[in-house]
Amino acid sequence: MTTTAQPGPSRLFLYLFVFVGAALAINGAIFATGAIRWSRTLLNPSWSPPGPVIGTVWVVLFAFMAGAAYIIDRRAVPERARPARAVLIAQWLLNMSWTPLYFGLRNVPNGFYVTVAAWLLCLVTLTFAARATALAAALVAPLFGWLTFALALSWTTWQLNP
């Protein structure tokens, strides 16, 4: 019988570096293009959080996703770990696409459409994470809550900026 060594802390650091570091790098690159000036011209609902709050929430959510990936690697049986990790990475990639599709293209409807897709995929991500480990699902659950809020925010922002 062969045993597979569980991933150590270096795997967690790798996930954090990729999930959080890439997000910070892409956002920095997009906002260096003048997208921040464009975003300030948009009408936003009164209940919209300030940009720095939104950015901070995303950093925390990406860190949670990195933690979920690590927990899946450490605790889930391989038959459940592989699909859970794949869906989690797809979720991260879709979430990452929001910034260039919204700010990069300066396109408000894109923000709504990508948020709808991310919200739907998050249901799948939660299901696969829960099948892998309850802790991984608990780390993904705040993402679903935030995407639900983001769905209302992006719809309202689109309506204010036809």
Which amino acid is located at 65 in the chain? M
Q: 19 — phi, psi (to 5°)?
A: -65, -45
Please determine, for residue 128, whether its predicted confidence score (pLDDT) is greater than 90.
yes
What are the structure tokens assigned to 125, written together?
């991500």
Domain ranges of the chain: 9-160
Residues 123 and 115: their CA atoms lie apart, in Å, by 13
pLDDT band at 5; cut points 50, 70, 90: low
pLDDT band at 4; cut points 50, 70, 90: low
Q: Is the model more confident about 23 or about 126?
A: 126
Average pLDDT over the chain, rounded to an integer: 93
Cα 24 from chain centre: 12
Which amino acid is located at 38 in the chain? W
Query: What integer is the mean pLDDT of 91-119?
Result: 96
Please determine, for residue 41, whether its predicted confidence score (pLDDT) is greater than 60.
yes
The CATH class that applies to domain 9-160 reads mainly alpha
Query: From the CB of residue 66, how many other CB atoms can be counted at a distance below 10 Å?
Result: 24
